[in-house]
Amino acid sequence: MKTELTFTELKPFLTHMIKSNKDLQAKGIMPVAVELVGEAGIGKTTFLKSLALDTESHLEKISLSQFEELGDLTGYPTREFQMYKTVKNKEGVLVKRKAWIDAKLVEEFKLKGFISTGQHKMGYSKPEWVVNCHEAAKKGKGVIVLLDDFSRAQQRFIQATMEIIDQQEFISWKLPLGTTILLSSNPDNGDYQVTSQDEAQKTRYISQTVCFDIETWALWAEEAGIDERCINFSLMNAELFENEGINARSATKFFNSISTIENFSDELPLISMIGEGSVGPEFATMFSLFINNKLDKLLSPEFMLEDANYTKVRSQVKACTGTQDDYRADIGSVLSTRIVNYIKVKSQQTPPGKKLIDRVSELLSDQDLFSNDLNYFMARAIVGSHSKFKILAMKDGISQMITA
C-alpha cells in the first residue's frame, strides 16, 4: 500500500520536482509529470496555488472534466504552409529561412518577403491555455500546468493528454521550457466515478497519494476569510477530518452557512440542524460542545497583533491559555497557529510595518506567554515568512530559538 503524504510532507517533494524539471529541460531531457491522488475536497488545488506562489511559478489550471470540445485542450486543426525568405547568416552567406505559417497569416508573411515552397500540412493552433503558459515564460516565470480532475475526464481527453504529459507537446505546438505538469485525481476505489487508467498511461507520470492536512487547510481558511471561530474549532478537532473522514469541502460549506450568525450560543439548535444535514451528527455534536465551552470566544490574531495595548493583549492571552498546571496546550497551539497564518497572509498582501514587527518581537520575547515549543514554532515560521521579519533573528532570545 502506498504511503499517504500530507501536504506539508508533499511540498518539499514537489518543490524538488519543479526545480529538477527545469534542470532536466536545460540538458535536453524530458521533464517528469506528477499525479496527486486524493479524496475530493481535501484542498489539492488550493495547495497547488500556494505552491505556485512559493516557487514563483505561473499556475495554469485546466479542468478536464468540464471540457466538451477536444479542441479546447489540443487546439483546433489548421492548415499550415511552408514559406521561406532568403537572408544572410552571421557569416554573410545567403540562406533560406523556412517556417510553417498558419493559413490565415500567409498573406501577411508574403508582404514581409516570404515565398511559398509549395509544401503544406495540417497542424493544430495553440489553445488559449498554451498561449498563457508561453506569456508567463516570457516574463521569466516557471510554469505549472495542472490537469485538474484528471481521473474524471472522458477517455478521449485522457488519450489526448498522453503526448502532452510525456513530451510536453502536441503535434504542432510545444509547452515552454521550465514547465512541470501536475495531475490531480480521485482514487479509483469505487467511491468516485472515475476513468480507469491503463498501464501505458500510468508509466507517463509519478503518482503520489495525498491526505488531508489541517495545517494547510487552516492557512487557506485564513486567506479565504473563513469564520475564525470555525478555524479555531477545526484546529482543535483535527481528528474529525483525519480519523472520522469528514470531507473538508463539506465542512467548509457548513462553516460558511453559519458564519452570518453573530452569536453561536444563541442559535445552537439551528447550528446543530445545519451541521447534521451537512457534516453529520458527530461533527455537529462536537461543534455544539465547542460552543458550550465558550471556545468560540477565543482571541483573534488581529487583536493579538494589532491592539495597541500589549499589557491588555498579554493578560487576555494568559486568561485563555491558563498558567502552570492549568495551562491549556491545545488553546496555546490554536492561538500560535492563527498568529503565524495571519502574519503569512497579511505579509503576502502588504509588507509588514514596524508596528507589526515590534508586536511580534514582544510576543516572541515573552517567555511566559506560550510554551517553549510553540515559541520555537512561531519564531521559525514568522522569520521565514517575509524578509522584513529577519531583523528579529538578531534579537538574543529569538535568535536562540531559531538556531536551537
Report the CATH number that the domain containing residue 32 is assigned in CATH: 3.40.50.300
Q: Is 302 in the same domain as 342?
A: yes
pTM (two decimals): 0.71
Q: How far apart are CA 403 and CA 191, in angstroms?
A: 46
* Model pLDDT, residue 42: 79
Helix (H, G, I), strand (E, B) or coil at 363: helix
Classify the C-alpha dihedral 195-198-204-206 as positive or negative: positive
* Model pLDDT, residue 324: 78
Q: Is 148 in the same domain as 111?
A: no
Q: Is 196 in the same domain as 271?
A: no
Cβ burial 219-240 (10 Å sphere, 16+ → b, else e): bbbbbeebbbbbbbbbbbbeeb
* Model pLDDT, residue 401: 59
Q: Is 64 in the same domain as 144?
A: yes
2: cell is 502506498
- Edge-to-edge, what's the strand order for the sheet holding 179-185? 4-5, 205-210, 33-37, 179-185, 142-148, 57-63
- Which among 161, 165, 64, 79 is positioned nearest to 125, based on CA atoms? 79
Q: Is 69 in the same domain as 14?
A: yes
CA separation (Å) from 269 to 219, 257, 272, 283, 284?
A: 29, 14, 5, 14, 10
Q: Is 12 in the same domain as 101?
A: no
Q: Is 387 in the same domain as 338?
A: yes
Q: Is 148 in the same domain as 118?
A: no
Q: How far apart are CA 217 and CA 300, in angstroms?
A: 18
Helix (H, G, I), strand (E, B) or coil at 351: coil
Q: Is 199 in the same domain as 222?
A: no
Burial class of 354 by CB neighbour count within 10 A (0 to 12, 13 to 18, 19+): exposed
Q: Is 173 in the same domain as 255?
A: no
Q: How far apart are CA 306 and CA 346, in angstroms?
A: 12
Q: Is 135 in the same domain as 244?
A: no
Helix (H, G, I), strand (E, B) or coil at 377: helix
Its domain, for residue 279, covers: 215-403
Last residue of a domain, which of 147, 176, 210? 210
- HSE-up of 215 (CA within 13 Å, CB side)? 13
> 81 with 101: CB under 8 angstroms?
yes
Instruction: Using CA atoms of 276, 279, 283, 289 in order, give the dihedral in degrees to the nearest 10.
Output: -60
When divided into structural domains, the chain yields a total of 3
- Identify the segments of the chain with pLDDT beneath 50: none
Q: Is 45 in the same domain as 136?
A: yes
- Which among 354, 394, 355, 398 is positioned nearest to 377, based on CA atoms? 398
